[in-house]
Structure 1
C-alpha cells in the first residue's frame, strides 16, 4: 500500500512539472518556426536572431554560386517545410524565386533588399570606378563647358560601345535590376535586417518575441564593434589602390570609404570582354595599382592575365564566406576577412 501511494504521488507530480516549465516561460511546448535562408551571410544573421531558440536551414551551400545553383533534395525539403523564408532578391538568385513559389507554398517570404530601411546602391557598369560616378557636381557644371562637354559625351559613348560585346552575350547581367544585390556587405544593412528578421519571427512565434528582439539587439551591438574594428584595420592602408575580381564589394567600399579602382568582371555570372580586360590592365600600368583580388569560386586565370607584367600583389576576397562554418559567427568573420585580406594585399 505504501509503494502504491508513492507511485500515485509521483505520477501526480510529473504532469504539473511540465506545466510549470511552460508557465515559467520555457520553450519546451513552443512550436519554433522552420526557417530557410538563401546564402550563408543571411543565414548567419537569421541564426544570430534565433540563437538559443532554433536553427535556420541554409539553401545555397558553401562553395555554391548564388547565381546558378541546383537544389539538393534536402534543400528542396527545407523550402517545403519552411514557415519563413529570408532571401536577398531575385537579382542575386534568379532561380530561387520559382523554387520558393513552387515549394515554399505555406511560408512567409521576406525579400531583404526590398525591406524598409535597406540601403540600395545602383549597379556600376564600367570597368573603372571613379568617385565622380556617384556625384552630380560635375554634371551640373558640365553644361557651362561647351565643347569640353561634347567631348566628354563622345567619350562616354565610346566607353559604352566597348562594353556592347560583353553585355550582348551576358544573360547573367540581364538578370540584375537597377540595384546592386550584394547589400549584406554593409553593416548598416545587416543591422536593419536583424530587426526585420526579428519582427518576422516574432509575428510567427509570439512566445519567443522577447528573445528574438534581444538577440537582434545583441547582434546590432556586435555590428557596431565590428564597424569600429574594421575601420581601425583599414586605417594604415587607406589610399592604397586595388582591383576586385567582380563588382560585389560596393556596399563594403561605401561603408568604410575605401573605394576599389575597378572590377575585372561586371558579374560573377559572366567572363569579361577583351575591351574590359584592356581597360583594367591600362589602369594598373598607369596608376601602379597595388593589389588585384581574386575570388575562390572563379577563374584565377583571368586574374593572372590582368596582372601579367605588373608588380601588383594579389589576394582572395570572398563575399560569401565559402570557407567558413555556417552559423551566427560567420557574418562578422566574413567581414573581418575582407578587411584583413585588403590590409595584407596593400
Structure 2
C-alpha cells in the first residue's frame, strides 16, 4: 500500500515545477507592488525592490537586491524619473528583464515642476487604475499561458481603483480648494484629482534639504493664503516641516506618498491621506 507521501509526490512535483517556471516580477516600491501583486494573482512571483517605507527616489539596492533584479523577467517601475535606479540596475546586472515604466507608457496630462516632469502620478487613483490595466497587458504578453487570468485580474483591480477614485472625490468635496503646504512636491497629482491646491513646498527638489529661504517663503505663504496646516512625510525627517508649522502657528500633520508599514495597501494609504486632510481642514 502506498504511503500518503507517495500518493502526494506527483502533485508536489508538479507544484514545484510550476513555481520554478513562474514569471518573476520585481516592482520598485510599495504602492505599485500592492497593485501589481493583485494583477498577478499568484500566477507570477512578485517581489518588491525597495523595502516598505523606503523612498523610491533615493533607494540604494544591496547586493541581494541586485541579484533579485538580475533574476527577474519583468521590472515594473513608476517611471518619469521617480525610480530610475531600477532600470539602471537591470542594465548593469546583466538582467534580461523587460522594463515597464508605467508613467512613460500611459496616457495622461503630465504635471511640470519647473523644468522637470512631476513623476508622482500614482497619487491619482484613476491613473493607478490605468497602471493596473497596463500591467495586465504586459504580464499577458510575457506569459501567454496565463494571459486571460492577468487580464481579468487587471480589469477587476482597475474597477476597484476607479471606485476608490470616485470615493475620494466625493469625500474630499467638503474641503475642496484647501491649500496644501507639503514637504516636497509629491502631491500635485493628488491635489489636481481631488480639488485641492498646493500652495507651497518646503523642498522643491527631492533629496535636497529645505533651505532657510524656502522655509521662510513657506511661512509667508501660509500667512498670506490662510493655509491651515503643514504636512510632513513619513519617509523624510520631520524637523523642517515642524519648524515651519511652529513659525506659522499652524498644526503639523503627516501625508504618506509612498506607503508605510502602517498603511501597506494602496487604497489604505490613499484613504489615510484623505482622513488626515479632513482632520486638518475641517477643524
Q: Does the CA-based 8 Å contact 2:168-2:271 persist in structure 1?
A: yes
Structure 2 counterpart of 1:233: 171
- Structure ranking higher in strand proportion: 2
Aligned mate of 1:65, from 52, 55, 79: 55
Aligned residue runs from structure 1 range 1-12, under 5 A: none
Q: Where does structure 1 differ by over 4 angstroms across 4 or more consecutive aligned residues?
A: 26-30
The farther-off stretch of 244-253 and 81-90 is 81-90
For structure 1, the residue ranges without an aligned partner over 5 or more in a row are 126-176
Q: How large is the Cα RMSD of the aligned pairs?
A: 2.6
Pair 1:332 & 2:270 matched:
no
- TM-aligned CA deviation for residue 14 of structure 1: 9.3
1:204-253 CA distance string (max 9 Å, x none): 11111111111111111111211122123212222433311111011111
Measure, in 2, the Cα distance between the counterparts of 1:214 and 1:294. 38
Cross-structure match for 2:96: 106
Alignment partner of 2:213: what SS? helix
Give the TM-score normalised by structure 1. Answer: 0.72
Rounded Cα–Cα distance in structure 2 between residues aligned with 1:205 and 1:273: 49
Per chain length, whose mean CA-contact separation is higher, i.e. which structure has more relative contact order (CA < 8 Å, sep 6+)?
A: 1
Within a 5 Å distance, the mapping from 1:129-278 to structure 2 comes to 178-278=116-216
Q: 1:107 to 1:243 in 2, by over 3 A?
A: same
Q: Secondary structure at the match of 1:34?
A: strand
Which whole-Å CA distance do the structure 1 matches of 2:137 and 2:245 have between them?
A: 47
Matched, 1:95 2:30: no
The number of residues matched between the two structures is 275
Q: Give CA deviations for 1:246-302 in whole Å, capped at 9, x if unaligned.
A: 110111111112112111111331022222222111111223211110111223221
Cα distance in 2, alignment partners of residues 219 and 225 from structure 1 = 10
Separation (CA, whole Å) in 1 of partners of 2:267 and 2:231:
20
SS of residue matched to 2:116: coil
Structure 2 length-normalised TM: 0.87
Displacement of 1:324 in angstroms is 4.1
Match among 74, 82, 89 for residue 72 of structure 2:
82
Segments of 5+ residues of structure 2 without an aligned counterpart are: none
